Amino acid sequence: MITHPLILHVAIATPLRRLFDYLPDDVSDLKVLQPGLRVSVPFGRRKDVPGIVMSISNKSDFSYSKLRKINRIIDEQPVFTHKHLSLLKWASDYYHYSIGEVVFSALPSSLRKNISISKYIERVWCLTKKGAAFELNLIKKASKQSQILNYLQQRKSPVYESDICSIYPRSKPSLLSLKEKDLITISTEDIEDSVIKINKSPFKLNKDQKSATDEILKSIDNASVFLLNGLTGSGKTEVYMRLMESTIKSGKQCLVLLPEIGLTPQQIQRFKDRFEVNIAIQHSGLSDLERTQYWLAAKSGKAKIIIGTRSAIWTQLANPGLYIIDEEHDLSYKQQDGFRYSARDMLISRSFRDKVPVILGSATPSLETLYNVKKNRYKQLVLSTRTANAKPPKFHLLDIRGKKMFGPISQSLVDEITKHLDSKNQVLLFLNRRGYAVHLFCHNCGWKAECPRCELPYTYHKGINRLICHHCGVAKRHIEQCPDCNKPLLLMGHGTERIEEVLATLFPQASISRIDRDTTRKKNAMSDYLKKIQSGEIDIMIGTQMLAKGHHFPNVTLTGIVDADRGLFSTDFRASERLAQLFMQVSGRTGRGIKEGTVIVQTYNPEHPLFRQLIQHGYNHFCTSLLQERNHSSLPPYSYMVFLRAEAHNSNEVKMFIQNAAMHLNELTNNKLLLFGPIPALIEKRNGRYRYQLIIQSQSRKMLHTHLNVWLEKLESSKLAKKIRWSLDVDPQDMT
């Protein structure tokens, strides 16, 4: 170590797991230099690369003469606070992922470039003298302009542009027209705070909601983790909103994470209706500018509510007061490539750092969470009653062995559908598989239509007459004859398209809608379907996972789970947990109104203990025995797991890479970690690459992570490591 006057340790967006040392430039004031500041640096052959100062010291592993100077400082102020930097650093250590990639992924994409933040600082509008005295009826024709002007005249003080836009959507052109007419202008004053108006809830909390709310309010200034366990429709969102209300009133901000499928316009509207405050909503439809402004609004404390999916976890809040994660068990909270973080686990970590309570909401909590409840680390609050007097649904296991079938639908299910339609109710059929048929093969010679890149069957999509590989997305024209022997090909295995066809012939009078990824690609398609379901225009809906979660269908009295057996015999140790969650979610669509609901489960395995336990004793009881199983076999949450995932065109090289990696790890740890592998991934070949894994397991999280650090350095420098795509997955959630 050599001592220097001042060295900047800078994070740069590269896969290399380290910081890079630079000297200050000659012109900048050394006093402004501090961690969190963005700087432009020369990096390799590139001249102008953005970096973030992580720390400053007078030590470097390199000699002074080898160090280069930064080009310049990009912003006047740091983009990250000390606290946020320490969170990001911790995340980078925990997931063993490059610090540079981690800090840059926590910025909106516009700030990942060398553009100064000042370009994005939001405009504040105020009236001109002329505007303040202006007669509104003079611009009646342009009604948005007159509304905005009226609003500004009422408010009398300057208003943020985003506040105006959240009340009058898409009003930027109107603002500019008003400016041109010299009625409004951009204010240079700093304004105090944005509008805060909270509307009263239309109903009184029920007993469970009240005690849950009171309990959480008691520790509103602490880091406590609560599991709010209640069926869909039991009033969890109402509890969130009451707590958000008191958080906002005390001047603090709320961060709300929703699963990908839950971030619907309806859900957002519920928050907007209740809270007339600055809400930052992060979703995929935003422009760079909007995203950056929301990010800034959260950072400055102006946004009182921040709502988003997984990546919203990295939003920096000036004054956090409450963290909420809805449907905490949802898989979409775990990033499945690149930086494989879990937004739920990060939120809990943030809660401890920030001393802010966190609510995990779910009807079907993950085993990890139930385990933590058992260990008294989290407090469970149960909402047992459904609101609006709804009754829990009745389950029927329907043994379809040897029964008369119409495609995938049994005669008994058809009879049941008829009954419910006759009573003017709605029916939901669930099958988690898109397309028409899953296998296309030749009965004569055994030829199969398979994607050559994944070695898995194509799915036939009849609507577009194409064969699509659901693993790599490749599509090709459908063929009807065997390419080898010219005989007609057979179709096997059913998808949603097939059910739709079968039902159309069985129930010609009924209005039937298929709701899956294929039919909801267009913008607003999903909300149009939801509206039609609510208004009773649709009699039978056929849906995949998309339809299983979170929606309100008060008139659905029958849910049919068409193929319940998938997932019963998977090698993924989490399969039964997932199946049980899906099962409960699907059945949660039924009987949400005053009418009682029925769930029919078609199965070839009516004796399977999973079904029996789930149906007879319910989800939580079922999970208690799952936890016992996990305990016996030392699986998570009773141990900690990391996957080394690797893939390459040459399967021998992948296996060799993993074998070597395992050997090194065993040497390093004296065989103290449990290693399994190389084992093939559930989807062994995808997109032409062979995929293998090494499962690394230990009872001690600390030991696991300490060893991994040393091991990774060695791994990175190995020859094969450069030829193969590989990554670490800490706390993996799926084996695919």
Helix (H) or strand (E) holding 321, with range, is: strand 320-326
215, 209, 212, 226: which is closest to 358 by C-alpha? 226
N- to C-terminal Cα separation, the chain = 45
Give how far Cα 231 sits from Cα of 265, 396, 541, Å. 22, 19, 22
Which of 215/501 has CB closer to ligand ADP? 215
Shortest distance, position 274 Cβ to ligand ADP, whole Å = 10
Q: What is the largest CA-CA distance in the chain?
A: 86
Which of ligand ADP, Zn ion, none interacts with 472 (beta carbon under 5 to 8 A by kind)?
Zn ion
**Going residue by residue from 480 to 499, which x/- string records binding to Zn ion, judged by CB under 5 A?**
--x-xx--------------
CA 354 – CA 321 distance, rounded (Å): 9
Segment contacting Zn ion by CB under 5 A, of 7-15, 419-427, 478-486, 622-630: 478-486
Q: How far is the CB of 386 from ligand ADP (least distance, A)?
A: 8
Residues 653-672 that bind Zn ion (CB under 5 A): none
- The minimum distance between CB 467 and Zn ion, in angstroms, equals 10
Q: How far is the CB of 5 from ligand ADP (least distance, A)?
A: 57
Tokens, residue 236: 């969890």
Instruction: Classify the phi-psi angles of 96: left when phi > 0, otherwise alpha if psi is within -120 to 50, otherwise beta.
Output: left
Segment 222 to 241, residues that bind ligand ADP, using CB under 6 A: 230, 232-238
Residue 232 to residue 585: CA distance in whole angstroms: 8
Q: Which does 668 bind (CB under 5 to 8 A by kind): Zn ion, ligand ADP, none?
A: none
Residue with tokens 């029964």: 403
H helix intervals, 168-287: 172-180, 207-218, 236-249, 265-274
> Residue 662 has which token pair?
């395992």
Which DSSP symbol is given to 446?
A: -
Least separation, in Å, of the C-beta of 683 and Zn ion? 9
Q: Which amino acid is at 94?
A: Y
Here the tokens at position 498 are 């097939």
- Report the partner that residue 499 touches, choosing among Zn ion, ligand ADP, none (CB closer than 5 to 8 A by kind): none
Question: Tokens 């956090």, residue?
Answer: 320
- 242 lines the binding site for ligand ADP (CB under 6 A): no
Per CB under 6 A, which of residues 375..394 are in contact with ligand ADP? 387-388
Map residues 454-473 to x or -, x wherever contact with Zn ion holds by CB under 5 A: x--------------x-xx-
205 binds, among Zn ion, ligand ADP, none (CB under 5 to 8 A by kind): ligand ADP
- 265 vs 483, beta carbon nearer Zn ion: 483
Residue with tokens 């750092």, as numbered in its chain: 353
Report angle CA 176, 177, 181 to the nearest 5 degrees.
115
For the CB of residue 492, give the shortest distance to Zn ion in the complex, in Å. Answer: 15
Q: Are 467 and 491 contacting, i.e. CB atoms less than 8 angstroms apart?
A: no
Distance separating alpha carbons of residues 328 and 49, to the nearest angstrom: 37
**Residue 237 site contact among Zn ion, ligand ADP, none (CB < 5 to 8 Å, cut-off depends on kind):** ligand ADP
Binding partner at 46 among ligand ADP, Zn ion, none, C-beta below 5 to 8 Å by kind: none
234 binds, among Zn ion, ligand ADP, none (CB under 5 to 8 A by kind): ligand ADP
Q: How far is the CB of 545 from Zn ion (least distance, A)?
A: 20
- Cβ neighbourhood burial of 488 (10 Å; 0-12, 13-18, 19+): exposed
CA pair distance 278, 56, nearest whole angstrom? 36
Q: How far apart are CA 380 and CA 102, in angstroms?
A: 32
List the one residue out of 29, 120, 48, 23 whose CA is nearest residue 79: 120
Interatomic CA distance for residues 196 and 200, integer angstroms: 13
Options 153-161, 189-197, 290-298, 474-482: segment touching Zn ion (CB under 5 A): 474-482
Q: How far is the CB of 647 from Zn ion (least distance, A)?
A: 14
Write each residue from 177 to 216 as x if it is in contact with ligand ADP (CB under 6 A), else as -, in one continuous string.
Answer: --------------------------xxxx--x-------
Least CB distance to Zn ion at residue 456 (A): 6
- Residue 392 CB, nearest distance to ligand ADP (Å)? 14
* Site map (CB under 6 A) of ligand ADP, residues 575-614, x = contact: ----------------------------------------
Binding residues for ligand ADP, per CB under 6 A? 203-206, 209, 230, 232-238, 387-388
Binding residues for Zn ion, per CB under 5 A? 442, 444-445, 447, 451, 453-454, 469, 471-472, 482, 484-485
